[in-house]
Amino acid sequence: MDREEIFAPLAEIDLKRLQRLRLLARLMDTAIRIPGTGIRIGADSIMGLLPVAGDAGGALVGLYIVNEARRLGLPSHKLARMISNVALDGLAGSVPLLGDVFDVYFKSHRRNVKIVLDHFGMPENG
């Protein structure tokens, strides 16, 4: 079985959609490097500082990524894994202070986009 039989062919519009998902995950999880450390944060970590609304906003972005994966044709077991990442991020992120630290390290958006890219045999940074 060759590569084309394993991975569904992607139309140009799908490649653009994947690029948008990559950029969105970067913005949400790793857009800013904290000087003097190897730690990167994104909008999700910053939004998480706002009680309830910040975590809800991050979860909505996560669900958007899951919906795009569904539209791209990912199988239900991968979608379920992605939803569990969003749920874990939302629940753990809602715990004051500890949730904010969790957000810095868990990076659910990057994890979920990686699931999508792996499904199509594409590199995470490309």
- The string of DSSP letters for 23-78 reads HHHHHHHTSEEPTTSS-EE-HHHHHTTSTTHHHHHHHHHHHHHHHHHHHHT--HHH
pLDDT at 60: 97
pLDDT at 80: 98
- Where b means 16+ CB within 10 Å and e means fewer, 106-120 reads bbbbbbbbbbbbebb
- Residue 45 near residue 100 (C-beta atoms within 8 A): yes
Distance CA 29, CA 12 (A): 26
- Residue at 6 is within a domain: no
Q: What average pLDDT is seen over the chain?
A: 89
- Residue at 66 is within a domain: yes
Confidence of residue 8 (pLDDT cuts 50, 70, 90): low
Confidence of residue 126 (pLDDT cuts 50, 70, 90): low
The whole-number average pLDDT for the span 41-59 is: 91
- Residue at 125 is within a domain: no
What total number of domains does the chain contain? 1
- Residue at 72 is within a domain: yes
- Residue at 50 is within a domain: yes
Distances (CA, A) of 113 to 31, 54, 118: 15, 20, 8
